[in-house]
Structure 1
Amino acid sequence: MSGAADRPILCSTRAAPPKGAAGFLEVGEKVAPAFLFPVIGVWSTPLAGRWSEVEAELEARVSALGFELVQASWAGSRARPVLRLRIDRADGEPVTVNDCAAVSRGLEPWLDAHEALPERYVLEVSSPGIERPLTRPRDWTRFAGRPVVVKAARPLAGDRTRVEGEIVGLDEDAPRPTARVRLGEGEEVRVPLEDVLDAHLVMEWD
């Protein structure tokens, strides 16, 4: 069984903390030690069709802070909207709680002034975790040789839309971004990235 070090680090800023609480811990099955602190959001309009714009700006701002935005998603409910960011370090070192807090604090001024986001919100910044999602073409080069699980919109091997294998890298000769994955039986499949519904690394057991 994996230990706490294998689980994502979560740093969450909350719009409405419990009365009298300056900060508190949340520990779940997939959450390692978490650091939470309150923040008030002042957004006035919903995201509507502007998510791509917001996501691109988030990526640029996280990069300017010295980190990589692995994944951004909008979750929660109307009463408790959640903006979830998963970040990674460019130097390959594990993401720490302090890293998550630095990104959260660095984004707050821009988020607080953004008119496209909800009035009240929860901002969660976390590490990508041991089963890191692969969300950019460069990920397939960076993690070559690592085990991966891929779910696709179309069959990849026979009639299978889900395959598990080893990342070979990107197919440099393909007309569109395409990953190469070697299956356990030695067969190599090509995965058009536009067809990928989900792809993430798999923990390697000793």
Structure 2
Amino acid sequence: MAVHDEGLAAQMEPRVAELGFELVELEQAGSKARPILRLSIDLPDSRPGEPSVSLDDCARVSRALEPWLDQREGLSDRYVLEVSSPGVERPLLRPRDWERFAGAEVAVKGRGVLADRARRLEGVLLGLRGDEGAQRVALRLPNDEDVEIPLADIDRGNLVYRWERGGKGR
């Protein structure tokens, strides 16, 4: 579910940054009487495979935001705040994410067919090309072909995590 209140996300972002984290995503669910705020945070400039947000980090951000949310007009006092890591398959939501994670394996899903191939493509992210308003995501497909997909055509993008098989008898 998308954010219902863009102002809430915009006001929350600098508060999260002051705590040393990046606001990745704010999802609002529940009802007006009992809203659920799902906040995804990350370490600024983190890269795949590097240490990420801990449970203690999530608790610290939650405790720091609660007094501010308690005072927020129009937000039911029965709200639920859930703070978590974006996970190993972190969403790519802003243009800076597409630059930051260049070199990582990603999946992109489009509103329609992407690069004349499919609605969903996977490959190695090469970065973002073009100027604001006409930006394109550059992707190296598994067949080593490079394609550029207009950012406006992408509904969702995320990092891809490959689980390693290991252990005895595998």
TM-score by length of 1: 0.69
SS in 2 for 1:191: strand
Give secondary structure in 1 for the equivalent of 2:134: coil
1:82 corresponds to 2:36: yes
Q: Equivalent residue for 2:167?
A: none
Residue 187 (str. 1) matches residue 145 (str. 2): yes
- For residues 78-131 of structure 1, give each alpha carbon's deviation from its aligned partner in whole angstroms, at most 9, with x where no partner exists: 564310011001263311111101111111121111113233111000011111
In the alignment, is the contact (CA less than 8 A) between 1:179 and 1:192 conserved in 2? yes
Q: What is the aligned counterpart of 1:60 among 6, 11, 14? A: 14
The alpha-carbon deviation at position 139 of structure 1 amounts to: 1.1
CA RMSD for the aligned pairs?
2.1
In structure 1, C-alpha distance between the alignment counterparts of 2:32 and 2:7, rounded to whole Å: 21
Q: Write the distance in 2 (CA, Å) between the matches of 1:129 and 1:157.
A: 28
**Quick one: structure 1 residues 195 and 91, their matched pair in 2 at CA, closer, same or farther if it must change by over 3 Å?**
closer
Structure 1: which 4+ aligned runs deviate by more than 4 Å? 77-80
Measure how far apart 1:198 and its partner are: 1.3
Which of residues 156, 163, 169 is equivalent to 1:198?
A: 156
- 8 Å CA contact retained: 1:171, 1:178: yes
Distance 2:132 2:52 in 1: 33
Greater relative contact order (CA < 8 Å, ≥ 6 in sequence):
1
Q: Is the 8 A contact 1:73 1:84 kept in 2?
A: yes
Counterpart residue number, 1:136: 94
Aligned pairs, how many?
158
**One-letter amino acid of the structure 2 residue matched with residue 138 of structure 1:** R
Give the C-alpha shift of residue 169 in structure 1: 0.3
- Aligned ranges 1:113-132 → 2 under 5 Å: 113-132=71-90
Normalising to structure 2: TM-score of the pair? 0.82
C-alpha spacing 1:190/1:117, structure 2 compared with 1 (3 Å): farther
What whole-Å deviation, never above 9, does each CA across 1:19-67 have from its counterpart, x for those lacking one? xxxxxxxxxxxxxxxxxxxxxxxxxxxxxx9711111111121111110
Q: Counterpart of 1:112?
A: 70
